[in-house]
A = this chain, B = another copy of it.
Amino acid sequence: MIENHSAAVLEAITFNDDGLVPAIAQQDGSGEVLMMAWMNTEALRQTLATGEVYYWSRSRGRLWRKGENSGQIQKLVEIRLDCDSDTLLLLVDQKGVACHTGRRSCFFRALRNGKLETIAKVEVDPAALYSSKE
């Protein structure tokens, strides 16, 4: 259930010197860890107000609604906070793939036999994901 009141969680969070907090997105139900990105207060407010997950893009220096161009949105199911109040766990319902490479999870490389191996297949052509350009 999504809350319109972000005060309780905003007050509790310890943001870093850049005003950001890391947010881990996990698929509700399956437990799959999809990605990790950063939120500022505005990203969190928008997420709680709309029920769709917003992050702060450090590379682009702007708010970013996950899937705004690709359509691969994240519906928020629940927000959890850790014991140090400096990391968020977002339970989400990920539409399609989370990774810009077209894979379900961003964590698609594993250290095996001394090498980084790609362990997940591309499910959607990235060119199709970003045909409207991101």
Contact = CB atoms under 8 A, between A and B. Distances in A.
Contact of A82 (B3, B30, B82, B106): B106
Interface in A58-95: 78-84, 87, 89
Interface residues of A, number: 43
A123 to B, nearest CB: 14
How many copies of the chain does the oligomer comprise?
Answer: 2
A3 B110 CA distance: 11
Contacts of A112: 1, 3, 78
Interface of A: 1, 3-5, 7-9, 12, 22, 24, 26, 30-33, 35-36, 48, 78-84, 87, 89, 99-101, 103, 106-116, 119
